[in-house]
Structure 1
């Protein structure tokens, strides 16, 4: 069984769902957070759009050491900026997946912070973790938007807002 075509399909499906969620993020709420320990919407959405880049990180490197390679997230000024960053990240992830072999997916990959090993994976596992993180944080964004009383789209089926018709009415009135 070839896993790379499945990864490419999953990336496109998750990107499509992520686009729908990001399209409704109001720029004027970028600094909002539901709790002082929570990320702001801006930080959360920037993390979401950056996650497909982890596919390229898995493909082109043997690991990440936070002590020598600190995380510098991209920035977005508005909702359209988030969507643009997502497209760049997805394109980079697709390109990386098209340049790796099935055998290379089994090579080791290490996440560390200095001498402390945080995780030992193979490259395929890093890709799976990136997809899981994308889904997890997108769901977190859905909760944020729900708390702001913003109707949300469905992810793997219709949302309650779509079933009631509220999402379509709200989506039609959103300006980027």
Structure 2
């Protein structure tokens, strides 16, 4: 649970930069790639990261500009990355207006009383979860990925090392 707004801002800023690194590697052609018929294609998953259930944060009174979850995914990888950047910036700006005390307030989220600091932590974890899915779909689509919590196989090789198996 976040106890200070500054902690949320610093954590989400870092996570958003990592998400943006991956989104910037997408191509328009790759957006249609799916792991299995009937499941989200890469473009739908990338688009989900743009609005990333902003409704969860709206339930606790954090209002910022984000596309609605019902909006159709954009068909351009560059446009999705730009929309993500705008949404993340808007979220960070809105959060910076909050006080630390606001994080202690509770709201009904998914049928439970969650303090705002917990909801914001779960929001970040939700993005990290989907970002992991994104990297798998990117690999399956033949795209490079970027290291997030450690180097990728290609990044290990650029350092002149063999990636651990």
**Contact conserved, 2:30 with 2:141, CA < 8 A, in 1?**
no
Matched residue count: 153
**Contact conserved, 2:57 with 2:123, CA < 8 A, in 1?**
no
**Contact conserved, 1:17 with 1:155, CA < 8 A, in 2?**
yes
2:150 maps to 1:157: yes
Higher strand share: 1
Task: Let me know the Cα RMSD of the aligned residues.
Answer: 2.5
Q: Provide the C-alpha distance between the structure 2 equivalents of 1:14 and 1:29, rounded to a whole number of angstroms.
A: 23
2:142 maps to 1:141: no
2:81 maps to 1:80: no
TM-score (normalised: structure 2): 0.81
Structure 1 gap segments, 5+ residues each: 62-69, 166-176
Structure 1 SS opposite 2:47 = helix
Q: Provide the C-alpha distance between the structure 1 equivalents of 2:72 and 2:61, rounded to a whole number of angstroms.
A: 19
| Cα distance change, pair 130–137 in 1 and its aligned pair in 2 (3 A) | same
Match of residue 35 from structure 2: 34
Match of residue 107 from structure 2: 109
| Cα distance change, pair 75–129 in 1 and its aligned pair in 2 (3 A) | same
Match of residue 13 from structure 1: 14
Q: Provide the C-alpha distance between the structure 2 equivalents of 1:122 and 1:32, rounded to a whole number of angstroms.
A: 38
> For each residue in 1:69-128, what CA deviation from the matched residue of structure 2 results, as whole angstroms up to 9, or x when unmatched?
x8424632211111111111111211121111111111122235xxxx3x4312111111
